[in-house]
Amino acid sequence: MENFDICVIGGGPAGYVAALKSALNGMKIAIIEKDKLGGTCLNRGCIPTKVLYSKAKFLNSLKSGVSGFHIDKYNYSYEDIINYKDEVVSTLVGGVSKLLKARNVSIFNGAAFIVSAPDKKNNISGVIKIQENNNNGELEISASNVIIATGSSPAMIPAFHIDHSNIITSDEILNIKSIPKDIAIIGAGVIGCEFANIFNEFGSKVTMLELLPSILSTEDKEISKFTNKILASKDIEIKTSIEVDNISAEDKGAIVLLKTGEKINAEKVLVSIGRILNTNNLGLKEIGVELDSKGKIKTDVHNETNIAGIYACGDIIDGPMLAHKASYDGIIASENIAGRKREKNYSVLPWSIYVNPPIGTVGMKEGDKELENIKYRVGRFSYGANGMALAMEEKEGFLKVITEEETGKIIGATGIGADMPELIAEITAIMHFNGTIKDAEFTIHSHPTLSEIVPEAVLDSIGEAIHKYNPRMFKK
Ligand code: NAI
């Protein structure tokens, strides 16, 4: 039986990054993936949706016009767009495979089952069984350490009768070859809002049905309202505080029956109500890996489980289900296996939501429980007052920054506007280094750039934004 230093189970952004990093750390690695390398992010999530997002954004510019241009006629083929999306995906998936091979990582295609855990005290490796794809049979390998990185899948509810044809999840929607005349989206969270924006731009009549009183309910309230306003202004119908009773497939579509008795007909119904953890059939129970009350694998600050030598990363452990968080988890596990004690810390973890314009957030936001015991100030700056934003005709949006009153430290930021995720990247870096208002002020920003919004919003928290009139400061 071939023995490895680390066996990584799952080839998504947690697993493949852990494998690449561990190979750099000089380890002998096996990675087991039952589907495609790259996981949800590359194949069914972040990347393919961003191809559709950027095409939808381009289409929006064509439709809504750009000053000085008179576009009389344009045409597009959605099928070609899907083909381009597939090209991007296969380039990136191929790249991951090449990188792994170049670092001598052994790639196994199949489903893994942990037969026995490593026994660190007696220096005995764990055994992992692989049910190889394409009926290639079973094989076993052994490893001194195991990193579990099996991710998550779209949540299903029996009454929603997902048939993967007319009633679909985010997995299938990326592959439909033509734009549906109408689409009902159940769940107005991150996935629901991203697809509502995309399909609306491509001409579908979109209806969103959300159980809670607001869309994007975990975001800052102002951002949620602003996004609602933008989506509604594009004629997306948004119904909140709605209970869906059941969904049934028809020949040419589906019917969504609400608890009120109202029926909604649509060619496609997208169910985007959250994700479930891929923790079954791995042998976790058999070897005694502990789970928390939500079914997530319990890990310590090193991403090690209750069993020495077994690590877990990504969606299946605590923290948000985000690709970059998963990769960070992978690096933490990899570093600890290499003997460099590194503790994870999610307090400066950014995220983005690609509606048009996009949303970005990092750290704390107004309404968070943690802010209740902190004296803080909020600064804001709008895109309408930034030269580059006006030049780009991107005047919609704003950035809000939270600073701590006592120390001037930047402790959170959220905003919506062109390239907001990139602006948030700068604030993330400042926060990573415990930066303050002064750090943002004295970082020289190139002009003209959207990034100039960052110091202005930060300084506004103390009423000192340069390009903003603050009536409080100059009372006559
Ligand atoms: P989500 O948790 O963001 O949103 C699900 C929504 O469905 C919630 O608003 C919830 O109230 C609603 N809901 C639940 N049950 C419902 C029901 N029976 N009827 C109507 N509404 C119902 O989950 P989503 O959008 O599926 O995304 C899953 C995960 O994927 C997220 O946690 C996110 O972290 C990740 N993701 C991240 C992206 C990004 O970073 N840009 C993009 C897409 C997904």
Domain check: are 242 and 371 in the same one? no
What per-residue confidence (pLDDT) applies to 291? 97
* Rounded-to-integer distance, Cα 53 and Cα 411, Å: 30
How many whole angstroms from 105 Cα to the centroid of ligand 1? 34
What per-residue confidence (pLDDT) applies to 327? 98
Domain check: are 128 and 14 in the same one? yes
CATH number for the domain spanning 387: value is 3.30.390.30
Q: What is the share, in percent, of the chain residues with pLDDT greater than 90?
A: 97
What is the pTM assigned to this prediction? Answer: 0.96
Among 228, 273, 351, the mutation site with the greatest number of ligand 1 atoms within 8 A of its Cβ is 273
- Contact criterion met (CB below 8 Å) for 291 and 298: yes
Domain check: are 269 and 305 in the same one? no
Q: Is the CB of 188 under 6 A from ligand 1?
A: yes
- 40-55 pLDDT tens trace: 999 999 999 999 999 9
Query: pLDDT: is 414 or 469 the higher one?
Result: 414
Domain check: are 309 and 361 in the same one? no
Domain check: are 290 and 253 in the same one? no
What per-residue confidence (pLDDT) applies to 469? 87
Ligand 1: atom nearest CA of 217 is 9
Bridge partners, residue 237, by sequence: 207
Instruction: Name the band, by pLDDT with cuts 50, 70 and 90, for residue 476.
Output: low
What is the average per-residue pLDDT within 152-173?
A: 96
How many whole angstroms from 192 Cα to the centroid of ligand 1? 7
For ligand 1, atom 19, name the residue with the nearest CA.
211
How many whole angstroms from 399 Cα to the centroid of ligand 1? 23
Q: Is 447 a catalytic residue?
A: yes
Domain check: are 399 and 443 in the same one? yes
- Would you say residue 202 lies in a domain? yes
Ligand 1: atom nearest CA of 186 is 20
Instruction: Name the band, by pLDDT with cuts 50, 70 and 90, for residue 84.
Output: very high
Q: Is the CB of 211 under 6 A from ligand 1?
A: yes
Domain check: are 41 and 119 in the same one? yes
Question: Which of 70, 161, 447, 467 does the annotation list as catalytic?
Answer: 447
What range does the domain containing 373 cover? 357-470
Ligand 1: atom nearest CA of 242 is 20
pLDDT at 470 over 80: no
Q: Is the CB of 389 under 6 A from ligand 1?
A: no
Single out the residue in 248, 273, 298 at which a domain terminates.
Answer: 273
Instruction: Name the band, by pLDDT with cuts 50, 70 and 90, for residue 134.
Output: confident
Ligand 1: atom nearest CA of 353 is 41
What is the average per-residue pLDDT within 73-99?
A: 97
Ligand 1: atom nearest CA of 191 is 25
What per-residue confidence (pLDDT) applies to 270? 98
How many whole angstroms from 195 Cα to the centroid of ligand 1? 11
How many whole angstroms from 432 Cα to the centroid of ligand 1? 27
CA 312 to each of CA 95, 278, 329: distance values in angstroms, whole numbers, following the listed order:
24, 12, 8
Domain check: are 230 and 324 in the same one? no
- Token couple for 452: 């100039």
How many whole angstroms from 63 Cα to the centroid of ligand 1? 29
Domain check: are 212 and 110 in the same one? no
CA 384, 387, 388: angle at the middle one, nearest 5? Answer: 100
- Token couple for 358: 């996009």
Q: Is the CB of 156 under 6 A from ligand 1?
A: no
CATH number for the domain spanning 34: value is 3.50.50.60
- Would you say residue 205 lies in a domain? yes
Instruction: Name the band, by pLDDT with cuts 50, 70 and 90, for residue 20.
Output: very high
- Would you say residue 352 lies in a domain? no
Q: Is the CB of 187 under 6 A from ligand 1?
A: yes
Domain check: are 21 and 168 in the same one? no
Ligand 1: atom nearest CA of 45 is 43
Q: Is the CB of 320 under 6 A from ligand 1?
A: yes
Single out the residue in 273, 294, 313 at which a domain terminates.
Answer: 273
- Would you say residue 476 lies in a domain? no
What per-residue confidence (pLDDT) applies to 200? 98
- Would you say residue 398 lies in a domain? yes
Total of domains in the chain:
3
- 247-262 pLDDT tens trace: 999 999 999 999 999 9
Ligand 1: atom nearest CA of 354 is 41
Single out the residue in 255, 273, 291 at which a domain terminates.
Answer: 273
Q: Is the CB of 275 under 6 A from ligand 1?
A: yes
- 403-454 pLDDT tens trace: 999 999 999 999 999 999 999 999 999 999 999 999 999 999 999 999 999 9
The per-residue DSSP string of 17-81 comes to HHHHHHHHTT--EEEEESS-TTHIIIIISHHHHHHHHHHHHHHHHHHH--TT---------HHHH
Buried b (16+ CB within 10 A) or exposed e, 427-460: bbebbeeebbbebbeeeeeeeebbbbbbbbbbbb
Q: Is the CB of 47 under 6 A from ligand 1?
A: no
What per-residue confidence (pLDDT) applies to 475? 65
- Contact criterion met (CB below 8 Å) for 437 and 461: yes
For ligand 1, atom 24, name the residue with the nearest CA.
274
- Contact criterion met (CB below 8 Å) for 16 and 37: yes
- Would you say residue 475 lies in a domain? no
Among 46, 152, 211, 420, the mutation site with the greatest number of ligand 1 atoms within 8 A of its Cβ is 211
How many whole angstroms from 64 Cα to the centroid of ligand 1? 29
How many whole angstroms from 186 Cα to the centroid of ligand 1? 9
What mean pLDDT is reported for the chain? 97
What per-residue confidence (pLDDT) applies to 65? 85
Domain check: are 218 and 291 in the same one? no
Domain check: are 164 and 299 in the same one? no
Q: Is the CB of 352 under 6 A from ligand 1?
A: yes
* Rounded-to-integer distance, Cα 151 and Cα 305, Å: 16
